[in-house]
Amino acid sequence: MKKILVAAAVTACFGTAGAAEDINVDIAVIGAGGAGLSAAVEATELGAKVVVVEKMAMVGGNTVRAAGGLNAAETALQKAKGTKDSVEIMFYDTMKGGHWLNDPALVRTLAQKSASSVEWLLAHGGDLRDVGLMAGATQPRTHRPTGGALVGPEVVRTLYTSAKNLNIDLRTNTQATEILTKDGAVVGIKVKGKDGVYTIHSKAVVDAAGGFGANNDLVAKYVPRLKGFDTTNHKGATGDGITLAEKIGAQLIQMEQIQTHPTVVPGVGDMITEAVRGNGAILINKEGKRFYNELETRDKVSAAILKQKDGIAYLFFDSDMQKSLKATNGYIKKSYCLTGATLDEIAGKMGVPAADLKASMDAWKAGKAAGKDAFGRADMPRDLDKGPFYAIAITPAVHHTMGGIKIDPLTQVYNVEGKVIPGFFAAGEITGGVHGGNRLGGNAQADIVTFGRIAGQQAYIYARGLDAQKK
């Protein structure tokens, strides 16, 4: 798939760390996913000397796996389409989607600055010109590449290119092993690279090491029912950055808030983007019947699927839907995607009663025509009656860890006593409070870019403040 090709290219271009010698910089960034790269690019463009360390062999983290898009309100692209979205609507949708457990100040910052995040990526050569609707949103605000292609590879490509053009010192295969402090302030990090252990002395540190979705022991510690669950995360998402922060007294919040993504291919781990449902696909169980509103929030859809026979359902769509979304091109080439020229043929491959599948599709079309869906789905863009037909078996898997380091809207990290840790900033999935009890699809990309940029800005301001004090 495209995401694999992008990741491979990034690996080849960045290489690995050099000799194990201590260095001095303005800002050290832990993690080269979307948040870390956003922070590094922003800070460098402001004039800071930045180094980024990444424990994996490639940059991108979970970002390169992102499929749906980047949520933003009041963008020029929305206005050009006549979309009546607003910061307030995005704020309400996000708070409601997170069961009102979100930190309102963080959500307001996310919504207010989301449009500028899109403009920033566009200005750096990104393609986010397609705008669609995803579950939990009341307005189309999910910005993605033209034709609805996968967003993650595009965001990583854009940030990687910018980092390369800025000659940012980015060291892969280099793991942060300790965050250093002096008199209560963060003053650098110790790292282990291929040539040994050394120290990066810095005026500020941005922790953007990501979540812990690939660490099932840690996941199960906070949510026992998720023991043994598969994950959509890359294997490096083990929570190392959270552990490092905790060791210097950082406060952790909402660690039990862990999201499953409802549409992951069993035994394969491929996540099917939420945009497939947003563009019209429906869920069919092993009895050949619809059973839930496909555009409900991820936690609710996941719970509904787990109640079905074997905890499995099918994503069902037709050629009309497939042609509307480029992201489906990769899926339909996979062996796990079933194809049938007729409803009878696809039902046979799915192993469901053809009569029940046909009855489900008749009910869908009748509901669409009447403007009243039996399961309360408001957006029904297609009749789903144009062969060939496609079906993909799916089940929930651990997708996003919504708890983490406590920050404020300036991305400053707080300790267990509720005080700011000087010189320490954090952004992205490693933080808690942005998404509350459930993350809406498209909000992760908004989170990493928006707060990643803020972290870069604030780390730069802090570093310059220290310089001013020395004069």
- Per DSSP, the residues of 257-316 read -EEEEEEE-TTT-PBPPTHHHHTT-EEE-TTS---S-TTS-HHHHHHHHHTSGGG-EEEE
What tokens appear for 9 in the block? 């290219």
- Single out the residue of 355, 265, 269 nearest to residue 315, CA to CA: 265
- Per DSSP, the residues of 224-237 read GGGTT--BSS-TT-
Radius of gyration of the chain (CA): 22
Q: Which residues contact 163 (CB under 8 A, 6 or more apart)?
A: 37, 40, 41, 44, 52, 170
- Per DSSP, the residues of 215-265 read -HHHHHHH-GGGTT--BSS-TT-S-HHHHHHHHTTB-EE-TT-EEEEEEE-
Cα(111)–Cα(108) distance, rounded to whole angstroms? 5
Q: How many CB atoms lie within 10 A of CB 87?
A: 17
Q: How many CB atoms lie within 10 A of CB 383?
A: 15
Q: Which of 144, 277, 298, 453 is catalytic?
A: 298
Q: Is the dihedral of CA 183, 184, 189, 190 positive or negative?
A: positive
Between helix 354-370 and helix 343-350 the angle, nearest 10°, is 120
What tokens appear for 325 in the block? 């979304």
Residue 169 backbone dihedrals phi, psi, to 5 degrees: -75, 100
- Single out the residue of 200, 201, 92, 110 nearest to residue 454, CA to CA: 110
- Contact predicate 279/381, CB 8 Å: yes
- Per DSSP, the residues of 347-362 read HHHHTS-HHHHHHHHH
Q: Is 225 annotated as catalytic? A: no
Residue 85 backbone dihedrals phi, psi, to 5 degrees: -100, 165
Q: Which amino acid is at 201?
A: H
Residue 423 backbone dihedrals phi, psi, to 5 degrees: 80, 5
Where in the sequence numbering do the catalytic residues fall?
A: 298
